[in-house]
Amino acid sequence: MSSGGLVLHGRDWLQGRPFLLMGIVNVTPDSFSDGGRFLDPSAAVAHGLSLAAEGADLLDLGAESSRPGSDPVPEEEELRRLLPVVRGLRQALPEVPLSVDTTKAAVAEAALDAGADMVNDISAGTFDPAMIPLCARRGVPLVLMHMRGRPKTMQEAPRYTDAVAEVREELEARTRAAEAAGLGPGTLVLDPGIGFGKRPADNLALLRDLPALASLGYPLLVGASRKSLVGALTGAPVDGRLPGSLAFHVAALLGGARIFRVHDVAAHRQALLCAAALLPFRAAP
Ligand code: HH2
């Protein structure tokens, strides 16, 4: 159902693989699960290296937390945190694609200049109108993630009549905008945005009905890793949410998701390799 691939370094990384693992490197003082642990550039680079050693196919580098209630980070500060880590990981891991998790086109452009390969924009290009044209001009893949509102206030009163239909419609509109700018198969990935301006029931509806989003024709990325949805259902604290994260990601794989943004790479690799063996018509990795 999903098509389009993910072309990086001249080849489609989804070709012949049931899934890709995107390891999370948060260079932030305040991320919800690992804030402050990797703020030092050498700690962040070391963390990226260990995620790659665990089997991460790509790394997602972010220097601005988007947890509910978080404040935006000024561009200069985001660049100051991010660029040494992009440069360090580019040098240490020339083969591993690096994604930059930012909503600012200037930050994305500087990261691409420093060696990043793709952009992950939680605002789907809505916060900065220069983001989609930048990715089109540079010919780099862009993740369009769905969010209602902004991180600071998005969880205050999220409201949907039909979350799946509304998220699909809003992602489709962003997809059309990206296509109009020249992005398309190989350079677009869609993401329902688990926890971004959504109630637990909305997140569950989206995870349950991923085929409705996969039918938009682009690979789906899902990120439920350690998120509050797992806490809401189980009461588990942030550092005890790996089992619930695995469960959601296995279900998402079976529902058609292809890329998983995760903190715990080795555990996801094992769980998803086993789940992927149950999928029909997909080549073993
Ligand atoms: N979730 C987070 C950040 N970026 N990008 C995509 N495409 N999809 C997601 O679900 C997603 C994302 C939030 O997680 P994390 O980076 O761990 O925390 P924080 O935003 O607090 O840094």
Q: Does residue 1 register a pLDDT over 50?
A: no
Condensed to tens digits (0 to 9), the pLDDT of residues 174-186 reads: 999 999 999 999 9
> Is 227 an annotated catalytic residue?
yes
- Are 41 and 222 within 8 A, CB to CB? no
CA of 3 to the centre of ligand 1 (A): 24
- In this prediction, residue 2 has a pLDDT band, given cuts at 50, 70 and 90, of very low
Spatial neighbors of 105 by CB under 8 A, at least 6 apart, are 128, 130, 131, 133, 134
Residue 3 has pLDDT above 70, yes or no: no
What is the spatial distance between Cα 182 and Cα 95, in angstroms, rounded to a whole number? Answer: 26
Task: Give the ligand 1 atom nearest the CA of 32.
Answer: 21
Class of residue 266 by CB neighbours under 10 A (exposed 0-12, middle 13-18, buried 19+): middle
Identify the residue whose C-alpha is closest to ligand 1 atom 9.
Answer: 223
* pLDDT for 284: 45
Given the residues 81, 174, 227, 258, select the one marked as catalytic.
227
Of 71-85, 115-129, 147-161, the poorest mean pLDDT is in: 147-161
**Centre of ligand 1 from the C-alpha of residue 204, in Å:** 17
Mean pLDDT of 43-59: 98
User: Domain extents for the chain?
Assistant: 7-67+84-89+97-276
The three-class DSSP label of residue 179 is helix
Q: What is the mean pLDDT of the segment spanning 47-55?
A: 98
CATH 1.10.10.1200 fits domain 7-67+84-89+97-276 = no
Q: How far is the C-alpha of 211 from the C-alpha of 9, rounded, in Å?
A: 28
Q: Ligand 1: which residues within 6 Å by Cβ? A: 24, 26, 28, 31-33, 62, 65-67, 101, 120, 122, 143, 145, 191, 193-194, 221, 223, 261
- Residue 261 appears among annotated catalytic residues: yes
Give me the percent of the chain exceeding a pLDDT of 70.
97
For the chain, percent helix, then strand, then coil, each to nearest 5? 40, 15, 45
Of all atoms in ligand 1, which is nearest to the CA of residue 31? 21
The pLDDT assigned to 100 comes to 98
DSSP state of 53: H
Give the pLDDT of residue 281: 58
> What pLDDT sits at residue 90?
98
